[in-house]
């Protein structure tokens, strides 16, 4: 099992930016605040959503296949079940 470490890097008016380390592989993920609200209704921390999103990805592909930098909504374009499985609403 992979060790996922999520750290806040920056916050903008419309998004959070997180650094994610998976066993030495480093990623940068932007989470638009509106998308976060759509998926969670604010019921969990943004870091938790990022962590669950990486668990979702790692269940479907090796860490080497994950883009090094992306916006969270991009996952839905590659995996149509993402929003249904990850949403808390």
If one counts every other C-beta atom within 10 angstroms of the C-beta of residue 13, the result is 5
| Distance from C-alpha of 63 to C-alpha of 37, rounded to nearest angstrom | 26
pLDDT number for residue 1: 66
| Averaged pLDDT score across all residues of the chain | 95
% of the chain exceeding 90 in pLDDT: 92
Is residue 55 in some structural domain? yes
**pLDDT at position 89, please?**
66
What is the maximum alpha-carbon separation in the chain?
Answer: 35
User: Once rounded to an integer, what is the mean pLDDT over residues 16-23?
Assistant: 97
Helix (H) or strand (E) holding 27: strand 25-32
Domains held by the chain: number: 1
In a domain, 5, yes or no: no
* 1 lies in some domain: no
Give per-residue pLDDT as tens, 42-70: 999 999 999 999 999 999 999 999 999 99
DSSP classification of residue 57 = H
- 54 in any annotated domain: yes
Distance, CA of 79 to CA of 7 (rounded, Å): 24
At residue 21, the 3 state secondary structure works out as strand
4 domain-assigned = no
């Amino acid at each position: 099992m992979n060790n996922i470490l999520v750290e806040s890097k920056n916050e903008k008016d419309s998004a959070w930016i997180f650094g994610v380390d998976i066993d030495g592989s480093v990623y940068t993920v932007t989470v638009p605040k509106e998308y976060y609200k759509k998926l969670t209704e604010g019921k969990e921390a943004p870091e938790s959503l990022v962590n669950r999103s990486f668990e979702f990805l790692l269940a479907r592909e090796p860490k080497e296949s994950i883009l090094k930098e992306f916006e969270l909504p991009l996952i839905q374009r590659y995996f149509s079940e993402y929003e249904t499985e990850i949403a808390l609403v």
